[in-house]
Amino acid sequence: MAAYLLALRLGRWGIAGFGAVAFLLALVQAAGFYKIAGRSEAERHVFGRSMSILASQFTVIIAPPIRPDTVGGYVQWRAFGFFAILFAIWALASASGAARGDEERGIVPAFLANGLSRPRMIATRVAAFATGGMVAALAASAGVLVGVASGGETFDTVAALEAAVALTALGVCCYSVTLLFAQFTSARNSTAFAGVLLLALFLINSLSRTLDTLVRWRWLSPFHYYEQSSPLAPGGTLDASATLLLLAIAVAAAVLAAFAFRYRDVGSPLITLPTPTRRASYEMSKSPVWRIPVVRDLYERRVSLLMWTLGLSALGAIFVVLTKSIVKPLLAIPELAPYFAIFVNGNIYASFLGFIWFGFAQLLMAGFAITQVARWTAEDSDGRLELVVSNPISRARVVVERLIALTLGALIIAAVSGVAVGIEAHYQSIDLNSRRLAEASLLLVPFTLVFGAVGALLASRIPRATVGILGAFAFASYLTVQLGPIFKLPIWVQDVSAFKLYGQPLTTGVDQTGLVLTVVIGIAGLMASAMVMEQRDIGA
């Protein structure tokens, strides 16, 4: 019981942060339904038809809705469809930290030294995440109930609870799978490789709705089983067999993870590739990469940087390939003319690609910044930062080097993925302005720097809560752009969002004001984090 309670305590920030995010998103989506769908049955019928037609062309990202003309169907589609991705990311970060991050921080050896067996430790971590996942999922269900109540209606509490059960089952499944996969990788690369695995499983399911060749592999994805349940929609139910299968996969993966953990050394993967033997040496490495401050940071993160670069490049090419097949049917639907008016400017294919792909790329680059900030906070707690500043190196220099390394890493990812999009667009006969494509790609760098600067400031002050708060900040920034027009938020509030400052450079060019504000925020965050770092005790 003590180990279980300690595991809950270690994950308390994640539970609080993701629970708050889930509650707020479900609340605003439910409340927003009444503002955009109308009150009469005829208005909602027209709204639901438009949403169904629009959603049918975006099944590559999210499953089609069931009865979007109702608040339950709309929230199931808009909120709980997104929660599948959100909880998978949470499970990935939490499981990687529990499996390998806690080993570097000395928490795992401390557990084992106190007589806790390895299988029991795995069981307590899975149970603790399952508890936290259920709390966050119930917060999402509570958000639905409150949002519906704000519209003067009532909602079935049992259906809301069933939605929470399905979401928890998916989260625990992703957690256990990540926990198992982390046993076979090194501590530094566990998050990157497990992230690639979960992304592949997600794409197998989502792309199978568009590419028939992937349909036969859909059964491999836990996201497929989650989508079998739609308890919030009228006529929808909780698919008990699919939910139980998710839990069975979670239990099986946890058992295998416990078995693998039992037969590997702490700090080492279960299987190591053969490497040439070298004579033990205690001399300093002669490689020049370790002598150049920023270069050594990039070299140390070379594997994860490579994975991010290849991942975004591949996804960018996939979005280009799917653009024509999605846009062509949309052009023949008169009901969608008002929606195209929102983002179309000149070239329909370029407008669509800029709106969809670069909007998605912004989310991924924000995720990249958060993963780098997570490394900074880990260095604070495991002693690496203390070792660096004892060389001696000023703390301000540490902050500057971190942000420069983040900027260069983002530049590599943005440049390579932009080239991949341009090449694939040429093969698909999509006419893109080369200059604007380069601008749209390179603007992802200062966009990433905003989250890096905010993360550096938080890491300098409250490192243990940094990742959760930064994730909430990124989510709030994204939500401001998505829901600001619906709730008629003040323009100045919408303009604060980093996603709004990015603009639509692929179709309208660079927003000079947004770019200046983005750079100012990055510089201000850098200066503030450097000053705060000088005043805080490391590890406190």
Q: Where are the domains of the chain?
A: 1-21+82-264, 292-540
Strand ranges for 354-482 from DSSP E = none
% of the chain surpassing 90 pLDDT: 17
d(CA 339, CA 209): 23
Report whether pLDDT(243) > 90: yes
C-alpha span between 85 and 62 (Å, rounded): 10
* Whole-number average pLDDT of the chain: 81
What is the mean predicted confidence (pLDDT) over 222-247?
Answer: 90
pLDDT in tens, 13-47: 778 878 888 898 888 888 888 887 777 788 888 88
pLDDT band with cut points at 50, 70 and 90 for residue 338: low
pLDDT digits (tens, 9 = 90+) for 50-104: 777 767 666 667 778 888 888 888 889 888 888 888 888 888 888 887 777 777 6
pLDDT tens by residue, 359-381: 888 888 988 888 888 888 877 76
Over the stretch 95-117, which tens digit does the pLDDT of each residue have?
A: 887 777 777 677 777 777 777 78
Distance CA 260, CA 264 (A): 7
**What phi and psi values does residue 39 have, to the nearest 5 degrees?**
-110, -35
Average pLDDT over residues 437-454: 91
- Please name the residue ranges forming H helices in 151-189: 157-182
Contact 141, 162 (CB under 8 A): no
The answer, yes or no, to whether residue 240 has pLDDT greater than 70, is yes
Contact 51, 68 (CB under 8 A): yes
Burial class of residue 335, CB neighbours in 10 A (0-12, 13-18, 19+): exposed
Cβ contact 498:518 at 8 Å: yes
How many Cβ atoms sit within 10 Å of the Cβ of residue 346? 9
Residues 419 and 29: their CA atoms lie apart, in Å, by 36
Which pLDDT score, from 0 to 100, does residue 183 have?
85
- Contact status, residue 150 vs residue 487, Cβ threshold 8 Å: no
Q: Cα separation of 375 and 330, whole Å?
A: 43
Distance CA 432, CA 429 (A): 9
